[in-house]
Amino acid sequence: MAEREELTWELFGSASRELAGQIAESGYEPDLILSIARGGLFVAGALGYALDVKNLHVMNVEFYTGVDERLDLPVMLPPVPNAVDLTGAKVLVADDVADTGATLKLVRDFCADHVSEVRCAVVYEKPHSEVKCEYVWRRTDRWINFAWSKLPPVVRHEGQVLDA
């Protein structure tokens, strides 16, 4: 068995479409999609098109510092979404993976005070996640290589552009 789960761009295309199919079939019609940056941005964008939802919001949460290395707790980074934008809405929270589930729990609890309903959609869910998402494309207990974060950043380093 491969050590890592690989989500290529091509596979993400069908994964996000299938995830959207689950949501549509369930009859849930979110007023807005709240993505968890950065990985959740890709998922939210794809779901936004597939479900015809144009109202997309972002929350920045920092937790992981490397492969299976994390801070003690996930932290929300500013800007935090305006509660007024969320009030009374049916919200779909979108992220790439629920691993420990701590990130999704933080965001879901943040929403719970304001919104009329909140559900979570992820591409992957790991078995130990403390949040059980309503919509999951695939389950795994392996580390996942996502197409958007697998390669090192293309940044200027001592005057050179790396790995363009």
- Positions in the binding site for ligand 5GP (CB under 6 A): 36, 39, 63-64, 74, 95-104, 143-144, 146, 149
Shortest CB 75 distance to ligand 5GP, Å: 11
Nearer Cβ to ligand 5GP, position 1 or 84?
A: 1
**Which of 41, 54, 28 is CA-nearest to residue 116?**
28
Q: Which residue's CB is nearer to ligand 5GP, number 52 or number 69?
A: 69
How far apart are CB 71 and ligand 5GP at their closest, in Å?
A: 10
Burial label, 101 (beta-carbon count in 10 A; 0-12, 13-18, 19+): buried
How near is the Cβ of 88 to ligand 5GP at its closest, in Å? 27
